[in-house]
Chain A
Amino acid sequence: MIVVKGLCKSFGKQEVLKGIDLTVEKGEVVVLLGPSGSGKTTFLRCLNFLERPDAGEITIGDTHVDCKSVTKNEILQIRRNTAMVFQLYNLFKNKTALENVMEGLVTPRKIPKIEAEEISRKILKKVGLGAKHDAYPSQLSGGQQQRVGIARALALNPEVILFDEPTSALDPELVGEVLAVMKKVAKEGLTMIVVTHEISFARDIASKVIFIDGGVIVEQGTAEEVLFHPKEERTRQFLKRILPASDYSI
């Protein structure tokens, strides 16, 4: 379970997050929507301390931290309870697909290599890359790289996987294969927090949709509620701009 209370973050004088509260139950898939600059990616990056929040409390699994007094060890603990999938994949360029997946098991978690390799091979197979073990990131397509990125996150068996616009950098024809993998893992009961503009993913998979604007949560609810019956004017305006015409003419 994940509990966030009063999360604040400023960059200089720019207040990006103005006190975010959020609870995510185990197995939930939460989709964060919002215009660019609304703070949704910053919020995601605060959860694993890639950005250092200025204030607030975060509980992930059995680790509870107060952001004002967080220690190095607590940050490490939080990071070892989470995993992240990046917009630009960020695969380790000096490692093969298999090594990319193994790295998080072998180096930080000290799992023996043989065991780590077995886990990693299984997971690469699951994301449909069983034949690409020895390929370096530069030899893979964007979609394949992102699937390795998902495999790297899955291997860690974390409390939650944070997805930061995982399909935004992909060619349209490659988006499908990545979304398919994400749907597959969502159905297996993994907890996911996803920043995305893929409304179809939110509609089909999300157990909760959250609309963020101006550093605050404007509205939250089920996909049905937020996407098709939004209460707030700001949510309506945003959806109008991004929903394809067919979606709301029906």
Chain B
Amino acid sequence: MENIFLLSLFIDCFPKLLSRLHITLYIVVIALLFGMLLGTYIAVVRLYKVPVLSQLATAYVSFIRGIPILVLLYIVYIGLPLVIGAFGVNINRWDTMIFVMIAYVVNTAAFLSEIIRSAVAGVDLGQTEAAYSVGMTRLQTFRRIIAPQAIQIGIPALGNTIVSLLKDTSLAYTLGVIDVIGVIKAISSNTYRSLEAYAAAAFIFFILSSILEQCFNIISRKLGIKGTISGQG
């Protein structure tokens, strides 16, 4: 009977998979960075109920959160060149990575905007009133009082989103990006075996997620030591 699981192949997979890990992490970092910028903008628009923009932002968030990331990847990959092409600009030769990044930024921004919005809205209104009563401006109030407390409220949810994002990047290979998952495809067509490579990938993702989780636990606890959100108010 054939071997169900080749341990040597499993071990051999690690260097190959890890050699493409930077692509996966690159997607995560870019998606977070730009997703945070766009997400903050969307959150502010919704929190301050900016007319028109606020409704657009709400529709955007609800639409993006409602479609699978795989579908979004294809819509961006196929749709964006068509839309921009209509304006006479040809982006068909752009690197696939750019389309992947755009899709993940668009997706992450929607989730982060909700986290930011709910964290800011979660800060007791009395805090704002107290800040106004001592003569602080709106901006000072946000910077000195609201933001620090909102960050504390939002940190656990942010951690969850980053872990989800890390795992969601595993769909980027469908557009032909050779990230950790993309390598598995190559390995399995060379060796006619794929379980070992997938097991190695599972191991890598599990370790990365655990590290992230631990980091966020530590950050939460560090912020929590100040004992500021909990307790009577």
Contacts and interface: CB of A to CB of B under 8 A. Distances in A.
Contact of A50 (B127, B132, B229): B132
Given A94-B145, A107-B144, A136-B227, A86 B135 contact: no
Interface string B123-148: 01011011111111100100011001
B232 interface: yes
Interface string A42-62: 000000111000000000000
B15 interface: no
A79 B227 CA distance: 29
A76 B137 contact: yes
A93 B228 contact: yes
Nearest to A88: B126
B51 interface: no
A91 B135 contact: no
Interface string A67-108: 000000000100110111010111111110000000110011
A166 interface: no
Contacts of A113: none
A20 to B, nearest CB: 20
Contacts of B233: 88-89, 93, 137-138
Given A83-B134, A88-B233, A94 B152 contact: yes
A90 B130 contact: yes
A76 B141 CA distance: 13
A92 B227 contact: no
A50 B228 contact: no
A142 interface: yes
Interface in B176-233: 226-233
A139 interface: yes
Given A86-B126, A107-B144, A108-B140, A93 B133 contact: no
Contacts of B232: 138, 142, 145
A154 B226 CA distance: 25
Interface string A115-147: 000000000000000000000111100100100
Interface of A: 48-50, 76, 79-80, 82-84, 86, 88-95, 103-104, 107-109, 136-139, 142, 145, 152, 156
The 8 closest A-B pairs by CB, nearest first: A138-B231, A104-B134, A108-B135, A90-B126, A90-B130, A80-B135, A84-B133, A93-B228
Interface of B: 124, 126-127, 129-137, 140, 144-145, 148-149, 152, 226-233
10 contacts: A49-B132, A76-B135, A88-B126, A90-B126, A94-B148, A94-B228, A103-B144, A107-B144, A108-B140, A109-B135
Given A89-B233, A138-B230, 4 more contacts: A76-B137, A95-B228, A104-B135, A139-B231
